[in-house]
Amino acid sequence: SILGYDPRQYYCGRAPIEAVARNIELSPNDWVFRCNLVTIADGKMEDHSAGHISTEEASQLIEELNDHFGNRQMRFYAGVSYRHLLVFKGVEFDVQTYPPHDHIGKPIEKILPRGKGADAPSGIIIAYLVLNPCPPVYQLFLC
């Protein structure tokens, strides 16, 4: 039992637990995704940790993401190094995501989020890649 709930029945991933631990206010209709900064090179997942980016540099990138994409329905929350969160408020999802560390060397289009509502997080990933043709460390992935 975790906080009185059977994880075999109620487990919905690490992101909501991390959000609660960080005092991020959530309602029953909110969705939380882990949002990792990664390295993508030649259209493939090269590194799951953006070269173990510093927390300071990563926080600046998360701030940029909020400047470009943040709104009342969606907000990024900076974490430590490459590990961050993305909260969607009142949006319905039935999405399959893929942990970057399990897909090193695979084409990015094969591991984008899939399912109902996946166009929102996938669109953010694609838009950010287009906005940032900078060094590959400036790329993100939802998992």
Residue that the structure tokens 């039935």 belong to: 94
Q: Write down the mean pLDDT value for the chain.
A: 80
The predicted-structure confidence for 14-31, as pLDDT tens digits, reads as follows: 888 899 999 999 998 888
Q: Would you say residue 138 has pLDDT above 60? A: no
Q: Would you say residue 130 has pLDDT above 80? A: no
**Which SS3 state, helix, strand or coil, does residue 56 take?**
helix
pLDDT computed for residue 55 by the predictor = 95
